[in-house]
Amino acid sequence: SDESEWDSIGDEFADDDGEATPKPVLAVVGRPNVGKSTLVNRILGRREAVVQDTPGVTRDRVAYDALWNGRKFTVLDTGGWEPSADGLAGAVAAQAEYAMTHSDAVVVVVDATVGATATDEAVSKVLRRSKVPVILVANKVDDDRLIADTASLWSLGLGEPFPVSALHGRNSGDLLDAILAALPESPKDTFGVQGGPRRVALVGKPNVGKSSLLNRLTGENRAVVDSVAGTTVDPVDSIVELDGQLWRFVDTAGLRKRVNFASGTEYYASLRTKAAIESAEVVIVLLDASDPIAEQDLRVLTMVVDSGRACVLAFNKWDLVDEDRRHAMVRELERGLVRVPWAEKVNVSALTGRSVRKLAPALRTALNSWDQRVSTGQLNSWLSDLVAATPPPVRGGKQPKILFATQASTRPPTIVLFTSGFLEAGYRRFVERKFRETFGFTGSPVRISVRVRE
Ligand code: GDP
Ligand code: GDP
């Protein structure tokens, strides 16, 4: 049988990679209180606006999935950044700068009842350099009489102001049409392979330091107040820039919510962990280096392995690890991590920031492996050498033969072995070990499945 035949057999087993087409990204910017959140909620079609009226509350950059007229896009809410050392104008200009480089279109919101302020002008100055389309929205135009006033906003140099009332929904359909017209079909490639930032889940047992690490990564070392009386925020992701690349940390609202641990919450927490893993491409499993690996850690690891996601092991609280503890760990890890010998280990401290910058390269390695494909030719020439040196053990008086192999899919990489008889689990593990010795795949699970042909 020739290779092309087998190639098409491989295709039969190829998973649907499950990846939606890349979605373009819309960023919403503007100074505080102009109605950005209200507008974002309007775009998302939420009935109840999620608006934070509490002064001084910092929202992170968050990403939401939006759908209009059958087209999907991501809305990046850059939130109400607090004034930095450079003052409000500086902070908002920085936000605009960020939006410009990380999105496919920018909506800048201005309060039409106030008119153009110095801060609006600072933002506009930045956005006039934008290579991506910019839509100037004049918000709070709650009735027609205000439309005439919006003419003064032409002075911002961003073209025609688009009058809307985010609060009442006035003109919002037209705005969405304009947004869709401005957004390209597929996103620009600053985000990585698929267009959108790659999705990361940060998981681990309670108190291992998940929210501390997230705060460290987002560069915010203070508690983020994220629930304001009377509002419920949908599960929301955070966009985090690490090592020059954007990452989408999934369900971080859940991490930060600090649900009070009452009865039954462990079950709830594990569902939540599972959901986060499922929606991610790569998982950071956080372990407490100062403590022995616990049953709960193993449960999380099992979930990750079963999910087929790429994985990075981060040993947190490394600042508490002394010589003795380091020695004790060696044997613990051998036993505890038997299922993930392929995962990269990074020793970090969310508290001190130690080695936190090693996470991004490890995530990249893991994702590259997860996406990696070995050609059928390469695979079979490797396999025939392997089988010649170490044939599968005889079983029931018969020598099973491995006829052919093909990589049926990626994410996770799945190898199908076509055989003439049953292959023992031990031999399958041997094949996987040897496969990794040759082809690497660090950070990604590899699945080996066997098809017995008569
Ligand atoms: P952000 O800080 O830019 O995100 O602004 P918010 O969305 O939190 O809105 C600030 C305030 O403006 C809130 O009290 C909103 O209810 C109000 N607001 C937002 N949009 C409109 C609008 O279209 N008309 C009116 N009258 N008020 C609005
Ligand atoms: P979470 O429940 O996984 O989100 O854990 P938290 O982030 O709330 O952290 C739990 C506790 O561990 C807090 O008291 C943190 O200050 C502490 N902690 C987190 N990371 C570190 C670390 O790297 N070193 C030390 N010594 N303590 C840490």
* Spatial CB neighbours of 22, under 8 Å, sequence gap ≥ 6: 186, 187, 194, 195, 196
| 92 labeled part of a ligand binding site | no
Query: How many of the other CB atoms lie within 10 Å of CB of 320?
Result: 13
Q: How far is CA 319 from the centre of its chain?
A: 27
91 secondary structure, DSSP code: H
Residues across the chain: 454
Which helix (H) or strand (E) covers residue 284, if one does?
Answer: strand 282-288
| Residue 219, C-beta contacts closer than 8 angstroms, at least 6 positions apart | none
Identify the residue whose C-alpha is closest to ligand 1 atom 16. 167
Least confident of 86-90, 231-235, 388-392, 409-413: 231-235
Q: Degrees (nearest 5) of the Cα angle 382, 386, 391? A: 145
* Least confident window among 78-82, 191-195, 325-329, 419-423: 191-195
How many CA atoms lie within 13 Å of 16's alpha carbon, on the beta-carbon side?
4
Q: Whose CA is nearest to atom 26 of ligand 1?
A: 140
Q: How far is the centre of ligand 1, averaged over its atoms, from the C-alpha of 48 (Å)?
A: 13
Q: Which ligand is nearest to the CA of 204?
A: 2
pTM over 0.90: no
- Which stretch, 10-14, 202-206, 416-420, has highest mean pLDDT? 202-206
State residue 2's pLDDT score: 36
Of the given ranges (71-85, 163-177, 358-372, 393-407), which has the lowest mean pLDDT?
A: 71-85
Task: Kindly provide the b/e burial profile for residues 73-96, where b requires at least 16 CB atoms within 10 angstroms of the residue's own CB.
Answer: bbbbbbbbbeeeeeebbebbbbbb
Question: What number of other Cβ atoms are within 10 A of residue 230's Cβ?
Answer: 7
Q: pLDDT at position 279, please?
A: 82
Mean confidence (pLDDT) of the chain: 80
Determine if residue 140 is labeled as part of a ligand binding site: yes
The residue whose CA has the least distance to atom 15 of ligand 1 is 35
Structure-derived torsion over alpha carbons of residues 167, 187, 311, 444, reported in degrees to the nearest 10: 150
Nearest bound ligand to the CA of residue 290: 2
CA-nearest residue, atom 18 of ligand 2: 209
- Using only C-alpha atoms, the chain has a radius of gyration, in whole angstroms, of 26
Q: What is the CB < 6 Å shell around ligand 1? A: 30, 32-38, 51-53, 80, 139-140, 142, 165-167
* DSSP-based helix, strand, coil % in the chain, nearest 5: 40, 20, 40
Each residue's pLDDT tens digit, 355-384? 999 999 999 999 999 999 999 999 999 999
Of the candidates 219, 245, 193, which has an alpha carbon nearest to the alpha carbon of residue 362? Answer: 245
| Ligand in closest contact with the CA of 216 | 2
Indicate if the pLDDT at residue 229 is higher than 70.
no
Q: Residue 350 is which amino acid?
A: A
Alpha-carbon distance 114 to 145, whole Å?
15
- CA distance readout (Å), 29 to 32, 305, 425: 9, 39, 56
Tell me the best of 167, 171, 233 to mutate to test the pocket of ligand 1, counting ligand atoms within 8 Å of each CB and taking the most. 167
